[in-house]
A = this chain, B = another copy of it.
């Protein structure tokens, strides 16, 4: 087994979408006093771990994702490296690290990855800790500098969502136009006209209509679409925008 690199970790900001909200996966950080049973720490953190000698950052992030989901074809993107001098330095953070089996005493740097998964079909579990999806509009107390990391991840996600078709990663393979619209609306915090949004999507050659309808809904079922990465790669053109 390869050795851990003690001063470097990877943290994954795992985003999920449930057709309604953008969610982020957090793991519970719970520590009770051994004698009194009183709760010393009870908050949440991102999923992350140190990297091994035989890994690069990408493979470390993929390993973490695989451990949680069992999948290894999940969208992952490195977005920033964090190095604040006091990033793991609150009393709770120190207490927590002291109680971990590996005794980390060094300053720890971390490389942030964000991951996009479809909240409705991918199931996540953690070996020995409690994990839970939180809507990004309603987050609990976060440990370490994970609030900062999460905010940066969101910022980068929003920027990327505006310039590349990564939103589809958050939807099941087959999706409806209004699911896609809702996704854009909740992530970018905007509202679009339903007819104009549909018009825009229909003219994208890489969003392909299927001869198939939504099922199990109690209203008129919508047409299903798939995203074709191949068609996108073939037809994409760079655009001079320079507008924002």
Contact = CB atoms under 8 A, between A and B. Distances in A.
Interface of A: 5, 7-8, 51, 53-54, 56-58, 78, 80-81, 83-85, 107, 109, 111, 159, 161-165, 184, 188, 190, 192, 200, 236-244
Given A159-B163, A161-B242, A53 B184 contact: no
Contacts of A242: 161-163, 165, 184, 200
A244 B240 contact: no
A182 to B, nearest CB: 14
A221 B240 CA distance: 27
Contact of A83 (B56, B161, B165, B236): B56
A54 B107 CA distance: 10
Contacts of A161: 242
Contact of A85 (B54, B190, B192): B54
Contact of A57 (B83, B188, B190): B83
A238 to B, nearest CB: 7
B85 A241 contact: no
A195 to B, nearest CB: 15
B240 A184 contact: yes
Contacts of A8: 7-8, 109
Contacts of A7: 5, 7-8
Contact of A238 (B54, B188, B240): B188
